[in-house]
A = this chain, B = another copy of it.
């Protein structure tokens, strides 16, 4: 089983590849990214490919020979809001190009699309389910919702074996703050753990729907390995997460790393971040996903532990 991962040079893509390397049925793993991909794993199954998916023809090379395609590449929410055309190009056009290339390959590859809870927005029910209407309040959310519809239709028509999974906000992401509206969600944990300051642009009562990278990656892999028949006709589903308030996150940080860690957080509101992030739901009924064998983190402490165990914290010193 040959695999291609777009956004394969990114944090989630590399962790997904790590996981897939442990599966004996996985053959070649093609990591695709628009930036050069750092060397990765001493394993002959890894192939690194630098490609810009918005370039005509690039998608054919990406999907060539692939039995499973994980499409993770995206322009993040804050950047898609600031640079509309870039977001449309990468989040919509490149997704369509990949689907079209997969169709042309005539292999009916499994196509796992990393969607996002950002497809949802107000008015929201108390509990979001797979039957909740999407009302995205960001261009990123709109582009992801369109991607889901395309994956569904290419799947229904038999061009691909499609699966669109909506990731919770992933926390703790390693590295530096990025242009995602949710960047602070990782930042307020990661930066203080490294002795750095971090700003929290939202109030402590805001609730979030979170997943550790480890669980997110396990669920992406599961989305590829689950038989199509068990998914039924609706190939779009909300992945499990946990509901945590910003205040609870900070209290948990304090339990782990002491008051000196939480004292590094400042609270300067940011209206544009707040508008996007507070439009996302934080409470879901994911019984369908759980019944299908997708997993979830036990609690927020697990998310901090995953970060500390990953070794990423050690490389992030002030």
| Binary B-proximity of A116-139 (CB < 8 A = 1, otherwise 0) | 000000110100001111111101
Instruction: State the A residues within 8 Å of B (CB).
Output: 84, 122-123, 125, 130-137, 139, 142, 145-146, 149-150, 152-153, 156-157, 233-234
Q: Which B-chain residue is minimally distant from A149 (CB atoms)? A: B142
CB A47 to nearest CB in B, in angstroms, measures 31
Task: Please indicate the chain B residues that have their CB under 8 angstroms from the CB of A133 in the complex.
Answer: 130-134
What copy number does this chain have within its complex? 2
CA A142 – CA B159 in complex, angstroms? 15
CA A2 – CA B125 in complex, angstroms? 40
Task: Please indicate the chain B residues that have their CB under 8 angstroms from the CB of A146 in the complex.
Answer: 146, 149-150
Task: Please indicate the chain B residues that have their CB under 8 angstroms from the CB of A122 in the complex.
Answer: 233
Contacts A131-B123, A149-B145 given; does A157 touch B136 at CB 8 Å: no
Task: Please indicate the chain B residues that have their CB under 8 angstroms from the CB of A152 in the complex.
Answer: 136, 142
Q: Which of A139, A153, A157 has the most CB of B within 10 A?
A: A153
Please tell me which one of the listed residues B137, B142, B153 contacts residue A136 in the complex, with CB atoms under 8 A apart: B153
Please tell me which one of the listed residues B136, B153, B157 contacts residue A149 in the complex, with CB atoms under 8 A apart: B136
Which 10 pairs show the lowest CB-CB distances between chains A and B? A142-B153, A133-B133, A142-B149, A131-B133, A146-B146, A139-B153, A146-B149, A145-B149, A132-B133, A135-B234
Q: Which B-chain residue is minimally distant from A121 (CB atoms)? A: B233
B123 in contact with A234 (CB, 8 Å): yes
Task: Please indicate the chain B residues that have their CB under 8 angstroms from the CB of A135 in the complex.
Answer: 233-234
Can you identify 12 A-B contacts, CB atoms within 8 angstroms? A84-B157, A122-B233, A131-B132, A131-B133, A133-B134, A135-B234, A136-B152, A139-B153, A139-B157, A142-B152, A146-B150, A149-B149
